[in-house]
Each structure stands twice: as C-alpha cells, then as structure tokens.
Amino acid sequence: MFVIPAAVVAVASAAPKPNAVSRTWELDFTFHDPQRITLTLPGDDTTSTYWYVVYTVTNNTGRNVDFYPTFNVTTNRLTVIEAGYDISPFVNDTIRTRHKGVHPFSVDPMKMYGPLLQGEDNARTSIIVFREFDTDIDQFTLYISGLSGEIDRVRNPRFDRKAGASPENPMFFHLRKTLEIRYDVPGDDVTRLTAEPIRGKQKWVMR
C-alpha cells in the first residue's frame, strides 16, 4: 500500500485519451463487483478482511495475445493498493472454493499470466484480491491494465535534465489503455464496514 507520487498525479491529469475505436487488440472482460471476505489464516488467532473481484477474460480479437494484467485500487485519499500483495494462497483457494458452484474452472491468479488463445472455449476465470484498505473512505477506483495492446508515451513534466534520466527520474512515462471503474461506499464510518460498494462511472483511460 502506498500513496501516489505527485509527479504521477500530474501525468495522469494530463494523460492522452484512448482512441475511440481501438487500433489494436482488446480483450473482453466481465466481472462481479467487489466483495469482502473475512478469514482466519491457518496458525493465526486474528481475522483479516479482504476485498476481491471475480472476473472472466475472453480473447475474441482474431489472434492469440499475451495476457499480463495489473490490478490496483486507488482510494479517494490517494492510497494505492496492489492486487495480490501479501495475500496467502489460503485466501485465494478459499475465495475460489466459495464461487466454485458458478465458476468451477476458476484458476489461481498467478496462472492467468501468459498466452491467451482465441475463442470462448479458451476464456479464463480467476480472482483479484486486495487486503482491506482504508475503512473510513467513501470512494475507490479499480484500475485494470493488460486488456488492450494500446500504449502511449508522455513526457515527465518534472523531469530533471541536470540529474539525467534514471528509474527515479524518467524522461517519459509509458501509459497503457486501462479500464477505470469507480465505486461509492455508502453509509457512515460504522456501516461502511459492511456496506456493498455501488458501481459508478466506468471508462477507458490511459494510465
């Protein structure tokens, strides 16, 4: 979990928009809205809460593509939570078992990476799992990259020429076409702990 650097916020606000008609491959993505699950891990006396999303990705692009997705949540406090960070295999297995009746062929998140063959018969279903984030937030945004081959490059507005280009001081940022899904968490500080998030605006962005 971390806070978005100011330079990244500046780039995001000035980022180019995706093409209205995709000029490259784009996968079909279906999903269930985020849900919570509270578990006691083996060998642990305390409980932990997680958010997760069940999703299916299908390749109807007309060619085989490599699927290397990234998932993260950004709260309205600009805290970023990476999917899969510090998630026990026990948590993944428990969630997949919970939905086995509807998604009997769901695979482990790590097995989603790699070539994705064409057609409905080769569609894959898995889960996105996050550790519980700030309990006092009332909005968060889910970002999903890797569903499209569209990329762009923008100059870093805070690039320091005197320091020279480096991973900490890049001259350019490479942006990927990313699915942005916003959610509101209704209620007050107490009821938000169990409230179901309400899906808001959904759109493609370059990020």
- Which pLDDT tens digits describe the chain residue by residue (207 residues)? 444 444 444 445 556 888 877 789 999 999 999 999 999 999 888 899 999 999 999 999 999 999 999 999 999 988 999 999 989 999 999 999 999 999 999 999 999 999 999 999 999 999 999 999 887 889 999 999 999 999 998 888 888 888 888 888 888 888 999 999 999 999 888 888 889 999 999 999 999
How far apart CA 204 and CA 80 sit, in angstroms, is 19
pLDDT at 2: 42
pLDDT at 16: 83
pLDDT at 61: 96
Q: Which amino acid is at 125?
A: T
Tokens for 197?
């998030």
Are 81 and 72 in contact by the 8 Å Cβ rule? The answer is yes
pLDDT at 7: 45
Confidence (pTM): 0.86
- 184, 127, 85, 68 alpha-carbon torsion, rounded to 10°: -110
How far apart CA 206 and CA 14 sit, in angstroms, is 10
